Amino acid sequence: MRTAITDLFDIDVPILAFTHCRDVVAAVTRAGGLGVLGAVAHSPDQLEIDLAWIEDQVGDRPYGVDLIVPAKYAGSETGGYTLDDIRQLIPSEHVDFVNDILRRYDVPPLPSDEPARGALGRGGGDSNSAPFSEGQAGPLLEISLAHAPRLIVNALGPPPPHMIDRVKEEGRLIGALAGKAQHAQRHVATGVDIIIAQGAEAGGHTGEVGTMVLVPEVVDAVAPVPVLAAGGIGRGRQMAAAMALGAQGIWCGSVWLTTEEAETHPVVKQKFLDASSSDTVRSRSRTGKPARQLRTAWTDEWDDPATPQPLGMPLQPILVSEALARIDRAALRPGSGAEKLTNYFVGQVVGAMNETKSASQVVYDIIDEFIESVQRLSHLLDD
């Protein structure tokens, strides 16, 4: 295949894989696509380790890194708030509500020798830096640029000017996600090279416009800047539809969560394999912003109008981080309350994720079905 995306990265197929798992990054890149490591939950040390490992696995083949570098963050005039600052802003009723959920579902505390994870998982930057702050994001960006990723993506909001300047200074390409055509236009005006048009079907943080409507709007709004389609894409027919809408490639995230290489929690992975496309919900319960995830007892608890509503970002992830760590650890016990609560981000394409395959096989299956779809369509034009 040849598109603007394959030409930019010198790859065989325009499939970009967003994943938090370095093994998936390497597998997709080796299969002819481009793996993108979601690194917002990495510590600087872990990011160094993972990028060195990826480069050892893929050689000169391209890969990318996805970060969250805020254009503006709380308290930026004085250097930003610390975690301790932000904890003081969390209402006691929300702390009590989280503790009540853990009590009612009989979720035990973490062992004394197992430290609670950071607000976003492993935690990034300074140990007391607030999530989504410069103190967290700055070191991760510099470590990424010290390695060889061909693409740096800002996952939430417009990349700030200093991020764009640094990425371009190092000769890399920069991408950004957009849920509206206006967002995409603003990204391009600031110097973004690639737009990821992410529809509401996608897992994680999404807007409200569906992929079928969003992609052609964005393509028309930012031409000739190349657009990747995201949201509800995990099969070749969906890729063919995205390309027909004007995209130059696809950006997939959810479909890798059930692969052999994925580090998905085993209980959550089985829930994904069993789920239908109707079993997700956009909820603010994990991050404070609407993010599509598997519907479980956790999202139902936060969706109850009689209970406290989720806080904004970054208060909500700081509020729930230890609780989620406790839930994930305890969920390994079958029939436990934690098993009912545990969940993760995933898109509506989860309904088609009913078989565990290798990441490379997912790439090959997408391409095979894409070719069949295009050939079938071409027959419609036969005399």
pLDDT digits (tens, 9 = 90+) for 72-92: 554 545 555 667 777 888 999
> d(Cα 128, Cα 126) in Å, to the nearest integer?
5
Q: How confident is the model at residue 120 (pLDDT cuts 50, 70, 90)?
A: very low
pLDDT of amino acid 122: 37
| pLDDT at 272 > cutoff 90 | yes
Q: For residue 62, which of 169, 147, 164 has the smallest C-alpha distance?
A: 147
Name, of 62-76, 109-123, 330-344, the range with top average pLDDT: 330-344
pTM: 0.91
User: Residue 105 has what pLDDT?
Assistant: 98
Residues 6+ apart with CB under 8 A from 326: 102, 107, 108, 109, 110, 338
Structure tokens at 265: 């929690």
Cis peptide bond prior to 224, omega within 30° of 0: yes
Domains and CATH numbers, the chain: 4-375 (3.20.20.70)
Give mean pLDDT, residues 163-179.
Answer: 96
> Dihedrals φ, ψ of 222, to 5°?
-120, 5
Mean pLDDT (the chain, rounded): 91
Segment 101-121 shows an average pLDDT of 77
**Angle, helices 44-58/22-30, rounded to nearest 10 degrees:** 20
When pLDDT is averaged across residues 330-340 and rounded to a whole number, the result is: 96
pLDDT-based confidence at residue 117 (cuts at 50, 70, 90)? low
pLDDT tens, residue by residue, 138-167 = 899 999 999 999 999 998 888 999 999 999
Q: Which positions ≥6 away from 192 have C-beta within 8 Å? A: 158, 159, 164, 174, 175, 176, 225
Decide if 346 contacts 257 (C-beta within 8 A).
yes
Calculate mean pLDDT across residues 62-68. 95
Mean pLDDT for the stretch of residues 217-233 = 98
3-state helix, strand and coil shares in percent for the chain, rounded to the nearest 5: 45, 15, 40
Q: Side chain identity at 142, as an amino acid letter?
A: E
> What pLDDT is attached to residue 71?
60
Provide φ and ψ at 270, rounded to 5°: -65, -35
Residue 138, phi then psi, degrees to nearest 5: -55, -50
